A and B are shown apart, each in its own frame.
Chain A
């Protein structure tokens, strides 16, 4: 009877031990599964936070840029504009010269001053975000094209869609700044003589193409070099496009000009 009881206790001990060890193995397997899930969640969360951080950085950079541009715009309008107006008054108060050559020079100076005032006003307007959002992207792009064409460095051909779509004011400002950046890059680096801007309205997106006949470049190399130097106009462009959920394709090769295609979902 005693032996039976002892054997029974032993059996219980063995069974309990086996159960606990099975639980142990199950626990470790379950932990591994749970850990993997947590790792994925954690990675997603990190990605989200990274994107949020990038957006915040972009937003503050845009804000700083807007403020600087606003300041430059006011300086052009209030300060330089005032000086130009004073020069204009002085020129008009000049007694008419008797020498026809001097008269022609005076007329030419007045004309040059008139052009300078107009260009300054337009530059001031293109830098002013408030003015820009009042005017709208398409009108602003038209004026910007005219302004660049007037420099005489390149000829600009702008092709707007017949009915222009209605866009969000903030997106319009972003689009204009992106367009300005692309056009400035073309002016600074491309050594182009012609720039074509084509806007095409698709059912799902607005495609804006900027094409030049300049020296071209290797987009991958430019991105890599920019990343290495921790500053890149191209990367900035891509970031700005991401900000408004637009796609940016860059097609270029040395000696073959360049093409920037921006696709904004509608």
Chain B
């Protein structure tokens, strides 16, 4: 395992730990964000264990992609309680993704194959949610500076993470065909993933602060 993986692992652990420690005081959406961090951490641990035992790390990602998207949808519906579009979009895309992922795992990319198609679809769906969220933030700006808003950090983290995922899996076949994924590409992806989970951590920290926030207002 490379140093960048250990950094990623540590940040995941710290973010999850912080979330667990302050779980009771957090609003619902931050509790869900904590669950996302714990889920990712567990998936990564399980994947590493399986890669040593059965020499294949793909199976946990088949479950992770579905659960993670469902949790993301839950976060956005909690963040924008009064926005019907977000709720309807989340329900419809969650159903589509579940059906597609299950079909993909059974017939196309079986459990021992990495579920790149499902992740690609989840990335596209999530990117639309993220962009909608940015638009909604612009429609009703809070009084606090943007950098003090937990929802901004969460959205930015998602934007970085899912754009990275999208690009990675959009070029996955080309890269594999050209003789494997080059180290420089892997490193860039790792840096952005580390960045994204750091932003998740910042979001958890800011959202948990006792000061009244734009993110914690009802209906937001």
Closest residue of B by beta carbon distance from A42? B141
Contact with B along A30-45 (1 / 0, CB 8 A): 0110111011001100
Which residues on A sit within 8 Å (CB–CB) of B167?
A: 16-17, 20
- Segment at the interface with B among A4-12, A218-226, A252-260: A4-12
Closest residue of B by beta carbon distance from A41? B141
| Chain A stretch 9-27: residues in CB contact (< 8 A) with chain B | 9-10, 13-14, 16-17, 20-21, 24, 27
Q: How far is the CB of A184 from chain B (nearest CB, A)?
A: 40
Q: How far is the CB of A117 from chain B (nearest CB, A)?
A: 60
Q: Judge whether B141 and A13 touch: CB under 8 Å.
A: no
- When chains A and B are docked, how far (Å) is the Cα of A36 from the Cα of B147? 11
Interface size range on A against B = 20 to 34
From B140, B174, B188, A10 is in contact (CB under 8 Å) with: B174
Which residues on A sit within 8 Å (CB–CB) of B192?
A: 21
Given A24-B159, A34-B138: A13 in contact with B175 (beta carbons within 8 A): yes
Given A28-B159, A35-B137, A35-B138: A10 in contact with B143 (beta carbons within 8 A): no
9 contacts between A and B (CB under 8 A): A9-B177, A10-B175, A13-B185, A16-B171, A28-B156, A32-B146, A36-B146, A39-B146, A42-B141
Q: With A35-B138, A39-B141, A39-B146 given, can you name 11 additional A-B contacts, CB distance below 8 Å?
A: A6-B177, A10-B175, A10-B182, A13-B185, A14-B185, A16-B167, A34-B138, A35-B137, A35-B141, A35-B146, A39-B142
Binding site for A on B (CB under 8 A): 134, 137-138, 140-143, 146-147, 152, 156, 159-160, 163, 167, 171, 174-175, 177-179, 182, 184-185, 188, 192
Top 10 closest pairs, chain A to chain B, by CB: A6-B178, A13-B171, A39-B141, A38-B141, A10-B178, A35-B146, A42-B141, A9-B174, A17-B167, A38-B138
Binding site for B on A (CB under 8 A): 6-7, 9-10, 13-14, 16-17, 20-21, 24, 27-28, 31-32, 34-36, 38-39, 42-43
